[in-house]
Chain A
Amino acid sequence: MKITAPFDTVAEVEELIQAGADELYCGVNTALWREKGIFSNARHMFYGNLSSFEELESALSLAQKRRVPVFLCLNDYFSEGAFQLAVKDVTRATAIGVDGFIIADINLIPHIKKLNNLSRIILSSLTPCFNYSALKFYKKLGIDRVVLSSVQLSLREIERLASEARDIQIELEVFVNNANCKNINGYCLFHSLDYKPFLKSFYKYRYACILACLKRAVSLAPGWLRHRIGRILWSFRRLFELPCRRAYSIEVLRKGPAGYIKDKKIKTAALERHFSSHICILCSVYFFIKYGIAAGKICGRGSVTIKKVRDIRFMRLFMDLIKDGLVTEANLSGYGRRNHDFIYGINCRNKLCYHLSISKNAEF
């Protein structure tokens, strides 16, 4: 299984390859997109994207020296105008020798194929694929690899899809790290402007998003600093939560003969917050390798380099242990935890372990 890692600056390319990345991916948000106030891919943050094709060209030359393929993310849905910009990006990226594209909008496929029939096309999880029929459909369109939203699928379902994918010769890629939302991202409108009219203050919400990113960065700081700053940030915790992670107060309604009536009230603070930020899939790499999954994707464009390097090193180390035959189904959790302690310098305390709970269909 290959490790597919993100980058968002040219400077970190070398470091990521040295850490063990087999493939790299990035987004480019050029001035054309910025003028229109939109992004060319699903990472709607300036620091999660390169800012020009010149930067991409530099990154490509570094990666090509090490024979590491680079994929360009155009994984979003576009209006007519934005679609034309995306086609321009495809043309430009093909000209400078990008190895492939990660797309969500299947209408880009003919444009990519027309420019370079050898460009690899990866279908992002933003166009969800949960069944073999969809795999066949995408294969016919010219997709080479499909990214599965592993958090949404059980191991049993991934195993079935992997065997069907082998039959029709299409590659599968799964998220292995930092994919932690309970919602299906391909169908989610929470982060779009559709949600905006319902927010009392959109700017507070944007502020909350920025603070959430800051919080992520702080979590990687040395222990004593993390502890101090973390406490301050925690006091502003109401601002941190994204719409999908907010602690809603829930009124349960039960249907009776005269319609719905109030049944009970639930506060979901702990549940929502915990669920949304702690799903870890790392140990399941053992099974993904067993099923013949082509690549494991590390999410996190916009993260600091050290975080990306650690994620890659964790995967590489774990995969080496599996390759050496040391990790078995019985002991993989133990090895996973030990690995976690070693690489991240903190104990694995994930209560939402994909391997231990979600894949086995536990209630939580």
Chain B
Amino acid sequence: MRAEPVNPDLSGFDYIYAGDEFCERCLPDDKTISGFARRCAENGTRLTLVTSYFTGEGIDRLKILLDYVILNSIVCELVINDWGVFELLESYPASFRVIAGRLLTSRYLSKFHYQGSKNAGEQAGSGDFYYSFPQDFLVFLKSMDVSALEFNNPSHLLKTRGQLTENNLKAHIYFPYYYLNTSRYCSCARGYGAYLHNVDDACNKECNSLASVRKDAYLNTDMLSIGNTHFVKEKKSIEDLGLDADRIIYNDPFC
């Protein structure tokens, strides 16, 4: 969630995700994170702070926020999507449960995976060659105290579940929308009619109330744009996909 909902129905949820992995401007401020923490306490849910990739200004803001979180004893997990945040965390040893975000993990396997059709990997009939994370990567993440990996695409999770279990790493997956790309040029700020380079305060977080659907004759499905990011919806249900995730992060903005 980018902003604290006015009246959220949290029944059935174990975690609230505060923040956004695609835009540093959606990093909650101290007031918002307190509101999220209060809401979690009322509903018996836990809090996860999602961080994005950051510019210098953004990482300065994150440092202020983390100082506030520590000072006010707010318990939360941290989803990291920028290697720089690992460096920052050296100032906060063992303060957070760390999760490697999908921006750090998705590109490893995305060009090899494709569900429901033949691709290079399937044709060669050598699953492990194409469908596993490099073992060095998982060892590196463990050395950085990462406890879980986020997945963007169900296909990635299905093929690497065993490898993660062997390495004692948890798997979290976003569902039903998975992202295709992101940019520092945001068209949302101008009602999707023009692009704005996201470098100053001209953005008023229009993405909290605006979304867009992109249609094209070449596509089997529509793309959803929220802010600076394009998503595609997974058509199959969780049961049909046979997802074996430790956590499913429900990210449907229309519900």
Contacts and interface: CB of A to CB of B under 8 A. Distances in A.
Contacts of A105: 108, 134, 137
Given A187-B107, A198-B220, A37 B182 contact: no
16 contacts: A81-B128, A81-B129, A105-B108, A131-B56, A131-B84, A152-B183, A154-B197, A194-B153, A194-B180, A197-B220, A198-B221, A199-B219, A250-B213, A252-B212, A253-B211, A254-B210
A253 B212 contact: yes
Contact of A254 (B128, B133, B209, B213): B209
A80 B134 contact: yes
B208 A255 contact: yes
A95 interface: no
A271 B131 contact: no
A131 B117 contact: no
Given A157-B55, A260-B211, 8 more contacts: A77-B108, A77-B109, A78-B134, A105-B137, A184-B53, A187-B181, A193-B114, A197-B117
Interface of A: 36-38, 76-83, 105-107, 110, 126-138, 140, 152-154, 156-157, 160-161, 164, 182-184, 186-201, 204-205, 238, 243-244, 246-255, 259-260, 263-264, 266, 268, 271, 275, 358, 361, 363-364
A83 B232 contact: no
Contacts of A36: 120, 124, 129-130
A116 to B, nearest CB: 18
Interface stretch (B29-37, B41-49, B187-195): B187-195
Majority-rule SS of B interface residues: mixed
B190 A183 contact: no
B134 A83 contact: yes
Nearest to A83: B134
Contact of A136 (B53, B55, B87, B133): B87
Interface centre among A36, A187, A249 (most CB of B within 10 A): A187
Contacts of B119: 193, 196
Contacts of A161: 56
Nearest to B55: A130
A234 to B, nearest CB: 18
B87 A134 contact: yes
Contacts of B215: 248-251
A131 B134 contact: no
Interface in B73-95: 82-88
Nearest to A154: B199
Contacts of B172: none
A191 B223 CA distance: 15
Contacts of B9: none
Nearest to A256: B209
B59 interface: yes
B223 to A, nearest CB: 7
A189 B136 contact: no
A38 B126 CA distance: 13
Contacts of A252: 191-192, 210-212
Contacts of B120: 36-38
A157 B195 CA distance: 19
B197 A361 contact: yes
B46 to A, nearest CB: 26
B71 interface: no
